[in-house]
Structure 1
């Protein structure tokens, strides 16, 4: 098979590399996207854009990414919850039973 694009990158001391810009554009990769590697028996490695699994929640993923970036940018803003707040939360949810495996009702869908 003839190559339509070739590129090189260098491994760092921690075995990390940057995906070259022309490869990122060809695969339409953005920050935080995942890549998939397929290693063939002849030693070739095929790099593709990873497809999200059906269990991935894109909104939750974006929110968690936002939290991670915010914590990294402002580590001093992270604070432990005080005892009063923990007790208030425990009071508000006491007696509520949750079955995480139960199906949602039509109203909750």
Structure 2
């Protein structure tokens, strides 16, 4: 039994086998630019599209964090506390900034 909640959304496959995910699908999955999507092939041949697990770690960031951890372990003498003056200076520089980490980026911010 198939339940359809909304009309079918179509997109065109380009010569490079790329497509744009239609707006209703992006909204339903809560997708934003650069998000990953997952395709699951079911036994009857249908393909289900879903939002990829966002808990996957970025391999580049992981490598960088491993590098930092190794460097700190190898050279603990290089680790220094921030001075109170520097902390106060940074806080003063950003005190007026209102930041919403969940807000989508504008096109000019990407």
Compute the TM-score of the two structures, normalised by the length of structure 1: 0.49
TM-score of the superposition, structure 2-length normalised? 0.49
